[in-house]
Amino acid sequence: MLVLPMPKRNRVRARARRPVQTAPQPIERPERTERPERVERSRPERGERRPRSRGAPAAAGASRAIGDASPVLERAASVERGYVVKDFGRLGKVIVAVLVLLGLSGVAVNAFVK
């Protein structure tokens, strides 16, 4: 009979609880002072506000963006387009390879049958 060794048990005494007197005391916070007066600053004028659409959302695939895209988004989109083009290229190669194998297997089966 196979006897597997049992894992050792570390026997450690339970820690004693701290008495109430040595428990951490609550932090004393300084009293709140009044806030200073609010200073009015001149704000730069914003461009004209864009109207918010209240109707149904745009159709699927339609762009909701207004204005030119940022350079960061353009770079990310071009990288994504590169991945998509590579994926379609790989998919096309796989489809061509499958069709070639299908044709060769048809020819081989016909040769063995005759």
Domain boundaries, the chain: 70-114
- Using alpha carbons, list the distances in angstroms from residue 114 to 16, 40, 109: 91, 97, 9
What is the pTM assigned to this prediction?
0.40
- Using alpha carbons, list the distances in angstroms from residue 54 to 47, 51, 57, 93, 108: 21, 9, 8, 47, 65
Q: Are 64 and 58 in contact (CB under 8 A)?
A: yes
Q: What is the pLDDT along the chain (114 residues), one digit of tens a residue?
A: 567 777 777 777 777 776 666 666 777 877 777 777 777 877 777 777 766 666 666 667 677 777 888 899 999 999 999 999 999 999 999 999 999 999 999 999 999 887
- pLDDT value of position 20: 63
